[in-house]
Amino acid sequence: MTKEMFGKLKQAVIEGEPEQAEELATEALAQGLDPLTCINEGLTPGMNRVGELFSTGEYFLPDLVIAGDAMKAALAILEPALVGNQERETPGRVVLGTVEGDIHEIGKTLVGIMLTANGFVVVDIGADKSAADFVAAVKENGATLVGASALLTTTMPEQQKIIEALERAGLRDQVKVMVGGAPVSQSWADKVGADGYAENAMSAVDLAFRLIDAPA
Ligand code: HCB
């Protein structure tokens, strides 16, 4: 039954059915399924499959758009169940965004949801944000952590620009930078001088705790 639900969620993303994805997510919660497992076993594998179909030329851009809409619709239902009770002291404030020239937002949003669920205050500045936007948000919000997402090989260098801009603004000592996104790796993070790399939203939470030196 549980496996069947994950399969249905995956299929709703692959077929780009936002309404169905929303209904299934609602049903999954009503059945008492863990929202995080719904994401990890249903929605994310669905999105990975969409990426494969796009790579092999079987899917086109509109297919990616509706798959993204389906994933977002299900996430909107699952998020409140993940976030839960927020009444403890926050471990830190995080500025999160997707780098300039890159409109992929789902991974970054998922990282934000998981950080929020773990007590962080997340300032999600959105997608296609310049290094200057990141710096301004860090200043405005007194953030101690930045999460920069890049999904395109062509936009990865923007992560380095953010780090350089933080240095120029005299903020680099106060703020840790974690990078992520499908083409990003630990060696890339090392190369651009980031403080850490996270492969997924769960490891981003662990990394965030490690970087701000708080117990996970
Ligand atoms: Co897009 N796209 N896309 N796309 N897209 C990718 C990324 C390709 C890999 C598809 C492919 O070719 N196989 C490819 C990039 C190739 C490359 O550069 N190596 C690609 C391309 C080429 C493009 C366009 C250029 C296509 C075109 O116009 N010809 C265009 C880009 C336009 C632009 O940005 N300027 C484009 C557009 C789109 C949309 C808009 C249709 C849609 C995005 C919808 C949206 O976000 N609202 C889209 C989608 C959906 C994808 C795929 C299919 C899925 C991305 C996704 O949401 N994954 C993707 C294929 C793929 O990645 N497998 C494809 C699910 C999330 C949960 O995973 O990796 O984003 P994630 O995030 C993880 C992880 O990386 C980490 O945690 C997250 C949660 O677990 N993480 C962080 C992410 N950020 C972090 C930050 C941190 O600090 C820490 C951890």
> In sequence order, what E strands does the chain have?
93-99, 121-129, 145-149, 176-180, 196-197
More confident residue, 178 or 54: 178
pLDDT band of 129, cuts 50, 70, 90:
very high
Distance between Cα 104 and ligand 1 center (Å): 5
User: What is the predicted pLDDT for the residue at 1?
Assistant: 61
Half-sphere exposure at residue 158, Cβ-oriented, CA atoms within 13 angstroms: 28
Which ligand 1 atom sits closest to the C-alpha of 197? Answer: 89
Dist CA 126 CA 124 (whole Å): 6
The pLDDT value recorded for residue 102 is: 98
Mean pLDDT across 178-206: 96
Crossing angle (nearest 10°) for helices 2-14 and 61-83: 140
Please report which confidence band the pLDDT of residue 215 belongs to, taking 50, 70 and 90 as the band edges. Answer: low
User: What sections of 15-94 are H helices per DSSP?
Assistant: 18-30, 35-38, 44-55, 61-83
Q: Please tell me the distance between residue 157's alpha carbon and the centre of ligand 1 in angstroms.
A: 16
Nearest CA to ligand 1 atom 21: 152
- In the prediction, which pLDDT does 86 show? 53
Let me know how long the chain is.
216
Q: Which among 15, 100, 103, 104 is the best mutation to test ligand 1's pocket, defined by most ligand atoms within 8 Å of the CB? A: 104
What distance in Å separates the CA atoms of residue 161 and residue 116, rounded to the nearest whole number?
26
Tell me what the pLDDT averaged over the chain comes to: 92
Provide CB contacts within 8 A for 83, sequence distance 6+: 113, 116, 117
CA atoms of 92 and 69, how far apart (whole Å) = 30
What is the per-residue pLDDT across 64-103, written as a single tens digit (0 to 9) for each?
889 989 998 999 999 888 876 455 678 899 999 999 999 9
Whether 147 lines ligand 1, by a CB cut-off of 6 Å, is yes
pLDDT at position 40 is 87
pTM of the model: 0.90
Neighbours of 86 (CB within 10 A): 10
Instruction: Classify strands 196-197 and 145-149 as parallel, antiparallel or unpaired.
Output: unpaired
* 116-127 residue pLDDT tens: 878 898 999 999
Lowest-pLDDT range of 25-34, 43-52, 157-166: 43-52
